[in-house]
Amino acid sequence: MSSEFLNTDMTVLGLSHGHMRLTPMLSAHRHNEVELNFVESGTMTYLFGGTQVVLEAGQLAFFWATLPHQVVQVREETRFHWLTVPFSSFLQWRLPPTFMQRVLCCECLVGRGELALLQQQFQQWRTDLRAQTEEQNLIVLLEVEACVRRLALTMTIASGTMNAETLQSMEPHLLSKVDQMTCFIAEHYVEPLHTQDIADAAHLHPNYAMSLFRKHIGMSVLDYITRYRLAHAQRLLITTDANISTIALAAGFGSVSRFYSVFKASCGMLPGEYRSGLRLPMLEK
């Protein structure tokens, strides 16, 4: 991602596209759109929540970007396209319930397509969006919906397995400790968490653990946990009828007042306003 997307809590991207030679991101970030990534050449590694996701040339990744994610490793020749779609537009697509559940649970879904056709398609979307006309934006949305529907037939949950070649250039010992901490947070973020708990998960002294986490993730552990809890709360707001107090506690916030304060600061609106703007019929279980 370019530097303009870094060090923000809830960036608003809307319907947009970028194509670039990729470099590691300085910090994890999140935004409310769904995101479609296409690796044109090379290999990239995401730290996506508590999972490392490796994408190679010809692969696509699709996910709801409200969960903190960060490109942590790329090969020198890596180029990729990203395309974001407003979450409200995504909900209107009425995709198959099982697929929707995976997306709303913040899973990174990976698929593969024909390289030349994907290059042509993403370049066309880039050209159309640069025109900034309502009609061409609509065409892009329709074509992206068709692309996602096609991929939904074959997409799988991204594996956290990394190959040995990739690990060789990633400070394996230190990054494994960060992985242990992010995985622990992913599994326990709805519970009361303390620095000591997270450090213990990686068998580190708390001060060193927090310093290491900030160095590799680009934010404090507290900020990272808060973003995780916000993602969970957003999902509950649009997929359940639970009252906001219940959601605040279920997402791991210690008090309703803190939940309101954090949600407003991050999303620019109150939880009730967010819910009323993005209503979704109950998904099949």
User: Which of the two residues, 213 and 281, has the higher pLDDT score?
Assistant: 213
CATH architecture of the domain covering 171-277:
Orthogonal Bundle (1.10)
282 has pLDDT over 70: no
pLDDT of residue 156: 55
pLDDT of residue 279: 64
How is residue 179 written in tokens? Answer: 């992985």
Burial class (CB in 10 A: 0-12, 13-18, 19+), 160: middle
Q: Which pLDDT band holds residue 66 (cuts at 50, 70, 90)?
A: confident
pLDDT of residue 280: 57
pLDDT of residue 270: 94
Share of the chain above pLDDT 70, in %: 86
pLDDT of residue 197: 94
pLDDT of residue 175: 60
pLDDT of residue 230: 92
pLDDT tens for 115-143 read 999 999 999 999 999 999 999 999 999 99
Amino acid at 17: H
Supply φ then ψ for residue 280, to 5 degrees: -135, 130
Q: Are the CB atoms for 5 and 20 separated by under 8 Å?
A: no
Q: Pairing mode, if any, of strands 79-85 and 34-41?
A: antiparallel
163 has pLDDT over 60: no
User: Which of the two residues, 12 and 188, has the higher pLDDT score?
Assistant: 188
What does pLDDT average to over the chain?
A: 84
pLDDT of residue 44: 93
Q: Would you say the CATH fold of 171-277 matches that of 3-157? A: no
What share of residues in the chain are helix, strand, coil (percent, to 5)? Answer: 50, 20, 30
Q: Which pLDDT band holds residue 10 (cuts at 50, 70, 90)?
A: low
CA distance 274 to 238: 8
Give every CB contact of residue 187 below 8 A, 6+ residues apart in sequence. 50
Q: Which residues pair with 38 in a beta bridge?
A: 60, 81
pLDDT of residue 168: 38
253 has pLDDT over 90: yes
Q: Are the CB atoms for 259 and 233 separated by under 8 Å?
A: yes
CA distance 232 to 66: 9
pLDDT of residue 235: 87
pLDDT tens for 166-181 read 333 444 445 678 888 9
Identify the CATH homologous superfamily for domain 3-157.
Answer: Regulatory protein AraC (2.60.120.280)
- The domain segmentation of the chain, as residue ranges, is 3-157, 171-277
185 has pLDDT over 80: yes
pLDDT of residue 176: 78
